[in-house]
Amino acid sequence: MNIDISGKRAIVCGSTQGIGKAIAIELASLGANITLFARDSASMKKVLALLDTSKDQQHESIAADFRFPDQVKEVISEYITKTPEVHILVNNSGGPAPGLAIDADPNDLLNAFSQHLICNHHIVQAVVPLMKRISYGRIINVISTSVRTPIPALGVSNTTRGAVASWAKTLSE
């Protein structure tokens, strides 16, 4: 399959390791301009060096800690004032610590919802108006297979990921 997304701007969250890093590298290889969005500026600098620029892509990074939704909102709000177009958004961030749901501190649930659902919502609210203006946009939410079947000993993650899946379906209506 020949996919060319040259000229498209993609924001990839959680892009310094794992799935997020792999997605950023792949989208760049397909011609996209990448904006890495994670908390560790030093790690983002290393990933930026790995991104394909053979189609004259311009890659950049923005930093915020997804444990602090207000920081994410501030950073993405500032970013979109300087960026005329966003075509692709990949919502992705690491999961909560393992453990049984019954043993979870209620604050662990609140923190996980903030990190995954609230941060995703802030970012979507910021980029969707740009996508609507250009009549083009793709939002990809990296969640978990636990949306279909809970994974043992990942109680907080299972709960949060299910909520993100439901939120995404609701937004798409």
The angle at the Cα of 81, spanning 30 to 78, to the nearest 5 degrees, equals: 95
1: pLDDT strictly greater than 90: no
Percent of the chain with pLDDT over 70: 100
Q: In whole angstroms, what is the distance from residue 157 CA to residue 151 CA?
A: 9
What is the per-residue pLDDT across 30-58, written as a single tens digit (0 to 9) for each? Answer: 999 999 999 999 999 999 999 999 999 99
Q: What is the mean pLDDT of residues 66-89?
A: 97
Q: What is the mean pLDDT of residues 150-169?
A: 94
One-letter amino acid of 92: N
Q: In whole angstroms, what is the distance from residue 156 CA to residue 109 CA?
A: 6
Total-model pTM = 0.95
pLDDT band (50, 70, 90) for residue 164: very high
